[in-house]
Amino acid sequence: MIEITETAFIMNTFFLLICGALVMFMAAGFAMLEAGSVRSKSVAVILVKNIGLYAIAGIMYFLAGYNLMYLGVDGGFIGTLAMWHPDDHAAIAGDYSAGYASAAGWFFQMVFVATAASIVSGALAERIKLWPFFIFCAILCAFIYPVAGSWVWGGGWLSEMGFKDFAGSTLVHSVGGWAALTGAILLGARRGRFSKDGKPKALHGSSMPLATLGAFILWFGWFGFNGGSQLSIATTDDALAVAKIFANTNMAAAAGVVTVLAFYLAIGRKVDLTAALNGALAGLVAITAEPLMPSALMSVGIGSVGAIVMLSASKALETAKIDDVVGAVPVHLAAGIWGTLAVVLSNPEASLVTQLIGITSVGAFVSSLSFALWAAMKYTYGIRLHWSHEDMGGDIAELGIRAYNLDHGFEEQGKAVN
């Protein structure tokens, strides 16, 4: 093992903190993507969910999640139930083998669990009640994600077996996707999303600029997500790796967009803006499991196939009458599975069988626990808005406000002055 010097320790800490801040900003990206994609009567409540879930993720990962994922997993299935606290005694004593400050590591991992939770909110928007959603997030961030994480990144059984998931196509994106899919099935579709004969009906998002802004922010943050997952930049090898990851990440995302554009050109139909945005995201999710080993050209291919997988999965969900408001399942689960499989194309250490074992074991664990949790809440407190509240919109029903008040004040003014 390479001895890590003080300078390297400092640079890695700096690097992880900046990358972590970029990933933190993805919370804003998800919030805007979702706020723009829901109908205008459901915007404020999705905003509450997004700021709330990011906060809950930070608190729960601090109280329980981090050490369940990383402390004493030792080839097993779960870590230790203990509150996190920074531990840098070794570095203070001159042993820099930890690579970076422990708080930088916590911060960087915390923003990943928040990303997984962000995926859920979009899929279930416009019909899930506020508090059950928050309860789910808390348990996802305190337990479900950390346990799966202990297997993959915490030194648990899957990592021992050789499962490769560099920055979390499976761990972050599929975990979020499974949680979203089980919730979407148990919730059912939004009223009016499918006609009585099963035809899907487009329910138009409130603001395309905000959805697009969200996609751009996610793309921007993804450089921190994938680049930072190298966890070090302080050797020549690491610096070359991080640079290649940045380039490959952009290649895959760009290919995802271009593939969607080419698809609509090929079938002779009008370009779908939402699909183009999801093409970028699907390319990003697909390259996330292995952004380092592929050539630039292969990264283009991985992103392009990711976009096709996303388009196909969207169609399949509609056929199955599963309502996913922002396409979180096609983007994060379907393209995440593809990306995890695609590792074998470039990484000689990866085996298809092991990748499949990882995908299915994480999928089985997360979907069964998620299903159980959603079901437990469904048959007790209830997870779905009353139909009259859904029709009214969560903004009025749950928050008592409207997200937009764009009458230029003329109406209100009349009342205010008198």
Query: What's the closest the beta carbon of residue 370 comes to its own copies, in angstroms?
Result: 22
Write the CA distances from 28 to 53, 132, 158, 337, 416, integer angstroms. 12, 22, 32, 25, 34
Residue 333 CB, nearest approach to its own copies (Å): 22
- Smallest distance, Å, CB 279 to its own copies? 8
CB 249 within 8 A of CB 224: no
Question: Which H or E run includes 133?
Answer: helix 130-139
Minimum Å distance from CB 77 to its own copies?
26
Which of 71, 273 has the CB closer to its own copies? 273
Distance CA 403, CA 40 (A): 7
* Amino acid identity at 277: L
Using the minimum distance from each CB to its own copies, give the nearer residue, 97 or 413. Answer: 413
CB of 364 to its own copies, least distance (A): 31
What does DSSP assign to residue 189?
A: P
Structure tokens at 260: 């969607």
Residues 35 and 46: beta-carbon distance below 8 Å: yes
Per DSSP, the residues of 85-105 read: ----HHHHTT--TT-S-HHHH
Work out how close the CB of 381 gets to its own copies at its nearest, in angstroms, rounded to a whole number: 13
Strand partners, 112: none
Which of residues 63 and 357 has its CB atom nearest to its own copies in the complex?
Answer: 63
CA distance 235 to 11: 10
What span, in angstroms and rounded, lies between the C-alpha atoms of 138 and 141?
5
3-state DSSP assignment of residue 384? strand
Nearer to its own copies, 12 or 370 (CB): 12
What would the two tokens of residue 147 be?
């346990």
**Among residues 258 and 341, whose Cβ is nearest to its own copies?**
258
Contacts of 379 (CB under 8 A, 6+ apart): none
Q: How far apart are CA 223 and CA 274, in angstroms?
A: 22
Report the distance separating Cα 245 and Cα 306, nearest Å. Answer: 17
How far, in Å, are 153, 279, 309, 413 from residue 303 at the CA level? 24, 8, 10, 52
Which of 255, 341 has the CB closer to its own copies?
255
Least gap, CB of 351 to its own copies (angstroms): 27
Q: Which is nearer to its own copies, 120 or 307 (CB)?
A: 307
Question: Quick check: 395 and 127 in contact, CB under 8 A?
Answer: no
CB of 367 to its own copies, least distance (A): 27
Choice between 354 and 384, CB closer to its own copies: 384
Q: Which is nearer to its own copies, 271 or 364 (CB)?
A: 271
- Tell me the C-alpha to C-alpha distance, in Å, between residue 335 and each of 220, 376, 397: 19, 29, 35
Residue 135 or 161 having the CB closest to its own copies? 135
Three-state DSSP class for residue 231: coil
Quote the CA–CA distance of 161 and 169 in Å, as a whole number.
18
**Number of other residues whose CB lies within 10 A of the CB of residue 406:** 6
Measured from the CB atom, is 348 or 415 closer to its own copies?
415
